[in-house]
């Protein structure tokens, strides 16, 4: 009986070991320093922060898994801080260093956020330039209109229009002047059409005496 129970237990353990070899347990994915930095930046205001601010968030959330041994070198800082510093400065595809500084330290942000911020700033600058160009164009048009008005005013002062006299306004006065004046050719004597023959003159033409 004891041998049978021993054989049964050994066969059960062998079967369970075989199942474990066929279906090994998946190990949990380890959080990388890149993931820690990205998560820290997403939690900071405007998704921007200095190294000290990033260190503080990472240490608060992942303090149990960090390597606090000092690295060999003149800096004598923990290994995990040295790794974060190196990755955030060299991985330009995920992190971007801004030109501005805060408290004498460099400011970092996510690369996607930096591109979006750059596009937004470019859009704002283009809008400001369009407004400035519209103002310049309006000023040029106003200056041209003022120049044309001044030019017309100067022309009118240089060449004042003399009012026409009564003789210039009437064509009959011109005819009188060409014939020696109004006394030589009264207006009543100017006939624009020949007079029609009277009935008596027509009768004399057709029935002579």
pLDDT tens, position by position, 2-42:
455 545 555 555 555 545 554 455 555 588 999 999 999 99
Task: Summarize pLDDT for 44-54 with one digit per residue, the tens.
Answer: 999 999 999 99
Q: Are 111 and 96 within 8 A, CB to CB?
A: yes
Question: CA angle at residue 94 from 91 to 96, to 5 degrees?
Answer: 80
The pLDDT of residue 144 = 87
pLDDT at 88: 95
| Contact partners, residue 37, CB within 8 Å, separation at least 6 | 54, 58, 84, 87, 88, 94, 95
The reported pLDDT for the residue numbered 199 is 62
Q: What's the Cα-to-Cα distance from 138 to each of 131, 147, 189, rounded to whole Å?
A: 11, 14, 65
Residue 205 has pLDDT above 80, yes or no: no
The two beta strands, 48-49 and 95-102, are unpaired
Which pLDDT belongs to residue 12?
A: 52
Residues in Cβ contact with 183 at an 8 Å cutoff, skipping those fewer than 6 apart: none
Of 134 and 120, the one with more pLDDT: 134
Q: Which residues contact 49 (CB under 8 A, 6 or more apart)?
A: 40, 41, 57, 107, 108, 109
């Amino acid at each position: 009986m004891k041998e049978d129970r021993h054989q049964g237990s050994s066969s059960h353990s062998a079967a369970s070991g075989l199942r474990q070899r066929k279906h090994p347990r998946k190990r949990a994915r380890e959080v990388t320093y890149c993931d820690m930095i990205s998560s820290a930046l997403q939690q900071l205001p405007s998704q921007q922060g200095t190294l000290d601010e990033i260190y503080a968030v990472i240490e608060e959330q992942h303090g149990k898994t960090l390597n606090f041994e000092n690295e060999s070198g003149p800096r004598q800082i923990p290994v995990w801080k040295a790794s974060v510093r190196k990755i955030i400065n060299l991985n330009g595809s995920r992190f971007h260093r801004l030109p501005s500084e805060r408290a004498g330290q460099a400011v970092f942000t996510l690369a996607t956020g930096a591109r979006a911020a750059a596009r937004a700033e470019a859009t704002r600058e283009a809008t400001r330039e369009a407004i400035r160009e519209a103002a310049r164009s309006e000023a040029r048009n106003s200056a041209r209109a003022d120049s044309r008005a001044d030019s017309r005013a100067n022309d009118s002062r240089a060449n004042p229009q003399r009012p026409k006299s009564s003789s210039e306004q009437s064509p009959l006065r011109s005819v009188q002047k060409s014939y020696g004046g109004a006394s030589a050719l009264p207006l009543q004597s100017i006939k624009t059409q020949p007079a029609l023959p009277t009935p008596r003159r027509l009768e004399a033409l057709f029935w002579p005496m």
